Amino acid sequence: MSCRLPMVSAVRTVGLLRRGEESLLLPSQRRRWLSASAIREDVLSITNLEDRTRPAFARTASSKLSTLTWSAPPRNVLIVKKRHVPIVRSALVSLARHLKANYPSTNLILEPSTAHSLHHEFHFPVYTLPPSEKLGPRGERLYHDKTDLLITLGGDGTILHAASLFSACRMVPPVLSFAMGTLGFLGEWKWEEHAEAVGEAFAGGARVLRRERLKVGVYDCDGKRVTGEWEFESIGDAHAMNEVNIHRGKSPHLAVVEVFVSGRFLTEAVADGMIIATPTGSTAYSLSSGGSIIHPSVSSLLLTPICPRSLSFRPLVLPADCVLTLKLSAKNRAGNVEVSVDGRRWGGIGRGEEVRVWAEKIDGEKGGIPCLKGRLGGREDDGWVGGLNGLLKFNYPFGEEE
């Protein structure tokens, strides 16, 4: 590809600089020797970056929160933004400049389309996946290898998308999320607080909630692992932040699913589908399907049926240390049912095949999505209450006020 060469030379040059030196160069110098191309000169391949710095998570008094600490300050910052919203675009530009001005060794990583549309706003290079790696497992591997800190600008959907880039990664970088617009459950910080938030994230000491994920595997009738259409499974297990579901999809016939808890038969569900969700996902599809709202600090797996042919299939909340299995029954009339992970199609499974779901183990540096806790609304608050009231219109009273 035409942009390859300049990038390679850029890489080398950058590689020769030590951390921090790069910022000593004047913009004009950098632009000159990086490339002759005016347009693409500052979009570099993420492969040029040094490998990530891993954070540590120290225990706190609360069993559920930990404290972020860095062995070395974070440098490679991946910013993921909501699309097509001008105000979010501007925020990203401001944020990137703020980072570079205040933490000069910062390397800015963007998703490819964002990188190409925004790099001209900056007098410093922007890193992204090399063109050949826009999609698929190798691209995701690069994000995994390079990202120190992940910042999202948008709403819960943006965080979900960002998390999906690390769905095969056991050591997701810390996530700093800014709620742009409606407050969500996951967007912990207000945009107005970004200087303070970034300060906390870089300095260490921020409170972190490591959100449970689900580990998902699909197995055939003989118990052998099957891979679906998710290529990146080749680099690791698939993990879900919100939920895994199976669904009859386009078939008119209800799915017939045997449900097992840690290998013991629980029930046979005849339904449109079944959801297994995390507490984080309790306010997503599971909620639409009648599930309760579970605080993200309650370690558990949710089992919520989708339109069951039963009056008495109340949603269940199960311990995080069990494995849940959804096995497509031999009675299922349609050939197969759809499996989705966090709303993305994984593929179909046939009769006798099964989806097994575990709560991801969180220990040491590994496991969960480490979300930096915010101070939404100016007070020490967990955002969850704000999400309930702001987003769900939780407990909005009906009837006239007296």
Which residues are known to be catalytic? Answer: 156
Shortest distance in whole angstroms from residue 239 CB to its own copies: 18
Q: Which residue do the tokens 């002759």 mark?
A: 36
User: What DSSP character marks residue 54?
Assistant: P
Scored b (16 or more CB within 10 A) or e, 146-169 reads bbbbbbbbbbbebbbbbbbbbbbb
Shortest distance in whole angstroms from residue 307 CB to its own copies: 4
> Which of 128/300 has CB closer to its own copies?
300
Q: Cβ neighbours of residue 226 under 8 Å, at least 6 residues apart? A: 218, 219, 220, 349, 353
Shortest distance in whole angstroms from residue 243 CB to its own copies: 12
Q: Cβ neighbours of residue 140 under 8 Å, at least 6 residues apart? A: 165, 166, 167, 168, 169, 232, 235
Residues 382, 388, 389, 391, CA torsion sign: positive
Q: Cβ neighbours of residue 115 under 8 Å, at least 6 residues apart? A: 43, 126, 127, 128
Cα Rg for the chain, rounded, in angstroms? 23
**CA distances in angstroms from 41 to 22, 126, 297, 372, listed in the order given:** 16, 9, 45, 34
> Which of 224/393 has CB closer to its own copies?
393
Shortest distance in whole angstroms from residue 135 CB to its own copies: 17
> Which of 69/299 has CB closer to its own copies?
299
**Taking a C-beta distance cutoff of 8 angstroms, is the pair 208, 66 a contact?**
yes
Shortest distance in whole angstroms from residue 252 CB to its own copies: 5
> Which of 42/272 has CB closer to its own copies?
272
Please tell me the distance from the alpha carbon of residue 354 to that of residue 363, in angstroms, as a whole number.
27
> Which of 119/248 has CB closer to its own copies?
248
